[in-house]
Amino acid sequence: MVYAIDISQPGNFEPSKISNVSTLLNIILPFLTLGGALVFLAMSLWAGFKVITGGDNKEQISQAQKTLAFAVVGLIVVVSSFLLVKLIGFVLGINNILPV
Protein backbone atom coordinates (compact mmCIF):
# COMPACT_ATOMS: atom_id res chain seq x y z
CA MET A 1 0.00 0.00 0.00
CA VAL A 2 1.22 3.48 -0.88
CA TYR A 3 -0.02 6.44 1.12
CA ALA A 4 0.77 9.34 -1.16
CA ILE A 5 -1.09 12.14 -2.88
CA ASP A 6 -0.67 12.78 -6.56
CA ILE A 7 0.16 16.49 -6.59
CA SER A 8 0.44 16.67 -10.36
CA GLN A 9 -3.35 16.94 -10.75
CA PRO A 10 -4.82 20.41 -10.12
CA GLY A 11 -6.95 20.54 -7.00
CA ASN A 12 -5.30 17.60 -5.24
CA PHE A 13 -2.80 19.65 -3.30
CA GLU A 14 -4.71 22.49 -1.63
CA PRO A 15 -1.73 24.44 -0.15
CA SER A 16 -0.45 24.99 -3.67
CA LYS A 17 -3.32 27.41 -4.23
CA ILE A 18 -1.36 30.04 -2.29
CA SER A 19 1.02 30.97 -5.03
CA ASN A 20 1.43 34.72 -4.47
CA VAL A 21 0.88 37.46 -1.92
CA SER A 22 -2.50 38.56 -3.27
CA THR A 23 -3.91 35.06 -2.82
CA LEU A 24 -2.62 34.98 0.74
CA LEU A 25 -4.19 38.39 1.42
CA ASN A 26 -7.48 37.18 -0.06
CA ILE A 27 -7.50 34.39 2.51
CA ILE A 28 -6.25 36.20 5.62
CA LEU A 29 -7.68 39.72 5.44
CA PRO A 30 -11.40 38.81 5.39
CA PHE A 31 -10.89 36.81 8.58
CA LEU A 32 -9.05 39.71 10.21
CA THR A 33 -11.78 42.12 9.12
CA LEU A 34 -14.44 39.83 10.53
CA GLY A 35 -12.48 39.53 13.77
CA GLY A 36 -12.24 43.32 14.04
CA ALA A 37 -15.98 43.66 13.46
CA LEU A 38 -16.70 41.06 16.15
CA VAL A 39 -14.42 42.84 18.61
CA PHE A 40 -16.22 46.11 17.81
CA LEU A 41 -19.58 44.44 18.45
CA ALA A 42 -18.41 42.96 21.75
CA MET A 43 -16.92 46.26 22.94
CA SER A 44 -20.07 48.16 21.96
CA LEU A 45 -22.29 45.71 23.80
CA TRP A 46 -20.02 45.87 26.85
CA ALA A 47 -20.10 49.68 26.82
CA GLY A 48 -23.88 49.65 26.50
CA PHE A 49 -24.14 47.22 29.40
CA LYS A 50 -21.92 49.47 31.52
CA VAL A 51 -24.06 52.51 30.68
CA ILE A 52 -27.27 50.68 31.57
CA THR A 53 -25.94 49.28 34.84
CA GLY A 54 -24.02 52.46 35.71
CA GLY A 55 -27.06 54.32 36.92
CA ASP A 56 -25.96 57.62 38.48
CA ASN A 57 -22.30 56.61 38.71
CA LYS A 58 -20.58 59.24 36.56
CA GLU A 59 -17.23 57.43 36.60
CA GLN A 60 -18.66 54.17 35.22
CA ILE A 61 -20.56 56.03 32.50
CA SER A 62 -17.39 57.92 31.60
CA GLN A 63 -15.50 54.62 31.31
CA ALA A 64 -18.28 53.22 29.12
CA GLN A 65 -18.05 56.25 26.84
CA LYS A 66 -14.29 55.78 26.56
CA THR A 67 -14.80 52.10 25.75
CA LEU A 68 -17.28 52.98 23.02
CA ALA A 69 -14.92 55.64 21.65
CA PHE A 70 -12.06 53.12 21.50
CA ALA A 71 -14.37 50.64 19.76
CA VAL A 72 -15.30 53.21 17.12
CA VAL A 73 -11.65 54.20 16.60
CA GLY A 74 -10.75 50.51 16.22
CA LEU A 75 -13.50 50.02 13.65
CA ILE A 76 -12.27 53.05 11.73
CA VAL A 77 -8.73 51.58 11.76
CA VAL A 78 -10.01 48.23 10.44
CA VAL A 79 -12.07 49.82 7.65
CA SER A 80 -9.28 52.21 6.67
CA SER A 81 -6.75 49.37 6.53
CA PHE A 82 -9.12 47.42 4.28
CA LEU A 83 -9.44 50.43 2.01
CA LEU A 84 -5.67 51.00 2.10
CA VAL A 85 -5.02 47.44 0.93
CA LYS A 86 -7.54 47.93 -1.90
CA LEU A 87 -5.85 51.23 -2.84
CA ILE A 88 -2.37 49.70 -2.85
CA GLY A 89 -3.66 46.86 -5.01
CA PHE A 90 -5.19 49.37 -7.43
CA VAL A 91 -2.01 51.45 -7.61
CA LEU A 92 0.17 48.38 -8.20
CA GLY A 93 -2.25 46.98 -10.77
CA ILE A 94 -3.21 43.88 -8.79
CA ASN A 95 -6.84 43.26 -9.64
CA ASN A 96 -7.58 40.25 -7.48
CA ILE A 97 -6.85 41.64 -4.01
CA LEU A 98 -9.95 41.32 -1.84
CA PRO A 99 -12.64 41.00 -4.47
CA VAL A 100 -15.80 42.53 -3.07
7 lies in a domain?
no
pLDDT given at position 58: 92
Number of independent structural domains in the chain: 1
56 lies in a domain?
yes
41 and 71 in contact (C-beta within 8 Å)? no
Tens-binned pLDDT, residue by residue, of the chain (100 aa): 666 666 566 665 565 667 777 777 778 888 888 999 999 999 999 999 999 998 888 999 999 999 999 999 999 999 998 889 888 888 888 777 766 5
pLDDT given at position 68: 95
50 lies in a domain?
yes
pTM: 0.71
39 lies in a domain?
yes
63 and 51 in contact (C-beta within 8 Å)? no
Nearest alpha-carbon partner for 47 in 32, 27, 68, 28: 68
